[in-house]
Structure 1
């Protein structure tokens, strides 16, 4: 891995951690700044697909609250201006007062922009 690739890897892992911190705090404004404007797609582990507006509305409505997300096996790949991050996540959520733990594989696609890394796509797949 070159120094440049190593730097991008560190940057995308830091950006992803910042995204999780914003999720924990339900900081819709910060999340909005992190997501690519009209092209963001969020695919939930249950197959539901949200665009940026729907995803942010669900966070703002506090339909669920992120408590913790342990990420492992994270791999980063560069593809031109895109950075792909995938791995496993064990996510603890509060859903209407009930604690739920999800074990998912995930893929994120980050776009390198003039304003830094922006999240273009997030997808979870339930692990069996």
Structure 2
């Protein structure tokens, strides 16, 4: 893991690049990259209130339970303090919803 101690502008750029790598890994189901970019003690909180650890977060991406047609982090702000970065953004995505299933059909005769 890279330490962000020197140039604040450079640190912001490095953090933004790491967020972009994570975003692309989620979008393209790059499991190796997701594993490399997430800590073993990851706590991933969803807007629904659901909290996942690293294993559950990656499993949802890998199985397609969390799958995206588009994924973008908007209005991002980065605050770096020593070797810790806080990133806030709006998670904007178009989710893939699986496939349609026939629920019913009605025919009639003239």
Shorter-chain-normalised TM-score: which range? 0.7 to 0.9
SS state at 2:65 partner = coil
Task: Give the CA deviation at 1:11.
Answer: 0.6
Structure 1 partner of 2:105: none
Q: Note the aligned Cα RMSD (angstroms).
A: 1.7
Structure 1 partner of 2:89: 87
Structure 1 partner of 2:63: 61
Structure 1 partner of 2:10: 7
Larger mean Cα displacement after TM superposition, 78-87 or 4-13: 78-87
- With the length of structure 2 as denominator, give the TM-score of the two structures: 0.77
- With the length of structure 1 as denominator, give the TM-score of the two structures: 0.67
Larger mean Cα displacement after TM superposition, 82-91 or 65-74: 65-74
Task: Give the CA deviation at 1:53.
Answer: 0.6
Larger % of strand: which? 1
Task: Give the CA deviation at 1:35.
Answer: 0.4
Structure 1 partner of 2:23: 20
Task: Give the CA deviation at 1:71.
Answer: 2.5
Deviation sequence 1:86-122 (CA, Å, 0-9, x none): 1223211112238xxxxxxxxxxxxxxxxxxxxxxxx
- Map 1:24-103 onto structure 2 (within 5 A): 24-37=27-40, 39-97=41-99
Aligned 8 A contact 1:64 1:96 in 2? no
CA distance in 1, matches of 2:15, 2:69: 21
Structure of greater Rg: 2
Task: Give the CA deviation at 1:69.
Answer: 2.3
Aligned pair in 2 of structure 1 residues 97, 20: CA closer, same or farther (>3 Å)?
farther
Q: Can you give the 5+ residue segments of structure 1 that lack an aligned partner in the other structure?
A: 99-128
